[in-house]
Amino acid sequence: MLSNKIKLINVLFAFLVGLSAFFSTNLTLAQNQPTVTIHRYESPPIDAVNLYWIETNKGIILIDAGRFLSQARYALDEILAVNKPILGILITHPHTDHYGGLPVFVDAAIEDVPIYASEITYNDLKTDSQGFIKARNQLHGNDFPDKDTIPLPNHIVKTGDTIKLGGLTFEVIDLPENETITTTLYYLSQQNALFAGDFVVNQTIPFLGDGFSSNWLNQLRSQQLQYPEETIIYHGHGKPDRVERLIKAQIKYIETMRRLVAEALAGDREVTPSEQEQIVAQLEKQHSDYKTSLVLPNLRIGNIKGIAKELS
């Protein structure tokens, strides 16, 4: 029964996503009270990113805020159409494609809307410690907010915390050093829904440039065992899917990258430009349908360098 429902959901996803990246994907979880609908807003390709807005009978909870102000306004139009208040915003990690739209949603929300994030994410938004905000300002002009106009999280969360919003209870799992300096997972156990930022992505090239692949693999293997098999992961790039399939695929991709880079490092202890090209060609052959998760000219080369540094 449940697997039929999941199949139906996947067919629905495929159909709706096929229509256009501008449409959000809606999944109503009717088996629990209150009625919960998880909407996905996927920004247009190239470099599509998901934000989710969860609708309950009491209001809307946002997971992440998208990359650009213009994209956030499209998502906001959909949210305003249901005529319910924005009750809270949960940020998964400090990459700009997940918080660039924050000013748009905060302006539209209830006064003093709670914004949740880990301490590491809060500090990065406050100080721009990785320089990402400055870089986005230079690249995208007015479509990316200035640092001083990005609302800071006003609720710091850590592993073991719970967040109660709109009749829902989110469990917090904060995992440092994986796809980014930290990823905060938000888990709705009653709804079998795990919001995971870019801890896993689907048919998308992940970011491995920070050199955390070993730690990330350990976390993936451990998280794989934590959730019932019917759990759906709502992540940052590509279609949501079952926990087991997504985590297995993410592990396989990272292991493949590490193997290819280790082979290139063997002997001369460096990955030469021609070896980089060979690895990229191999990855493109194996994953010809993979999109990029970041607006970076050479994400695959950056990933090779990140892993080479880590393995050296």
Cα 190 from Cα 300, distance rounded (Å): 38
Question: Contact 224/247 with Cβ under 8 angstroms?
Answer: yes
Q: Which is closer to Zn ion, CB of 115 or CB of 168?
A: 115
Nearer to Zn ion, 192 or 293 (CB): 293
Pairing of strands 155-156, 115-117: parallel
> Looking at beta carbons only, is 97 or 275 nearer to Zn ion?
97
Task: Kindly tell me which of 97 and 128 has the beta carbon lying closer to Zn ion.
Answer: 97
Closest separation between CB of residue 13 and Zn ion, Å? 19
- Shortest spacing between CB 120 and Zn ion, in angstroms: 16
Taking the C-alpha atoms of residue 89 and residue 24, their distance in angstroms, rounded to an integer, is 18
Element (H, E) at 234: strand 232-235
The H helix count followed by the E strand count for the chain is: 9, 15
CB closer to Zn ion out of 198 and 275? 198
CB of 286: closest distance to Zn ion in angstroms? 22
Amino acid identity, position 226: Q
The most distant pair of C-alpha atoms in the chain lies apart, rounded to whole Å, by 63
Find the residue with minimal CB distance to Zn ion: 236
Smallest gap from residue 47 Cβ to Zn ion (A): 9
Q: Please state, in angstroms and rounded to a whole number, the distance separating the CA atoms of residues 34 and 55.
A: 10
* Contact assessment for residue 118 and residue 142, using Cβ atoms and an 8 Å cutoff: no
Which residues are near Zn ion by CB under 5 A? 97, 198, 236
The nearest distance, CB 225 to Zn ion, in angstroms, is: 25
As measured in angstroms, the least distance from the Cβ of 210 to Zn ion is: 13
- The smaller minimum CB distance to Zn ion, of residues 109 and 201, is found at 201
For 296, list phi and psi in degrees, rounded to 5: -130, 140
